[in-house]
Amino acid sequence: MPGHRIYYVPPRLVGSISNWSGLDDPKGESWLLEHAADLKFNAIWFSPMTQATGVTKQMHG
């Protein structure tokens, strides 16, 4: 995309949505959005292509 600097973010590394979105912050500010802006990125891509951790298959029955 011309003119876009995309910040690649593995979702499992930034925590819950309420954590990075600013919902848990008393001021309602997102540390992730501020960090991306400080690095001069203007778009964020949450990559779904990360390795799953702690996933087990359970068989019931």
pTM equals 0.65
| Ordered per-residue pLDDT tens for the chain, 61 residues | 567 888 888 887 888 888 888 999 999 999 999 999 999 999 888 877 655 556 556 666 5
Does residue 54 sit within a domain? no
Question: Do the beta carbons of residue 47 and residue 11 sit within 8 Å?
Answer: yes
Q: Is residue 52 part of a domain?
A: no
Would you call 52 exposed, middle or buried from its count of C-beta atoms within 10 A (0-12, 13-18, 19+)?
Answer: exposed
Domain count, the chain: 1
Residue range of the domain that includes 12: 6-46
Tell me if 59 is assigned to some domain: no
> What does the H/E/C string look like for 4-60?
CCEEEECHHHHCCHHHHHCCCCCCCCCHHHHHHHHCCCCEEEECCCCCCCCCCCCCC
Q: Which two tokens stand for residue 48?
A: 């779904």
